[in-house]
Structure 1
């Protein structure tokens, strides 16, 4: 089974404890930031300091929506849920509530 999501950490940003839950629940290919940014849809994940530390990208809407649903199931909030367009190069930005 191949991963339909690509992910990369942003260098120099603190990785929070809840990151393990994300990597355990989403099937992702770890790759470079450049490759993730080449995907059509991008999800940013904020750490406890409010910095985006991880990007997750998908070329396919179904995989993107599955990832978003999984993040909601993990009780994370999407700050762009009611916003049109991208912010900080992301279609969704999740953080712990």
Structure 2
């Protein structure tokens, strides 16, 4: 899809500030510079996520009650040392 000079003029009349329309060769250099920044940003985000996953877990000692069919399910007593986890069930 190409942008005609008429389309550019119309957008300028509506007060829109749009980037310049350039050739593929002129576009490639700024794109490569931006691509390097995007890759660095992705690596930094991935490193932060990995650090978050390595954080220690916090024990939840609150008692919760879940409403669902056919009855209520409580977490009371599930945090004791002798408690063995039971499989989760769908509470819908």
Does the TM-score normalized on the shorter chain lie above 0.5? Answer: no
Q: Please report the TM-score for the alignment, with normalisation by the length of structure 2.
A: 0.22
Q: Which has the higher contact order (CA 8 A, sep 6+)?
A: 1
Higher helix share: 2
Higher strand share: 1
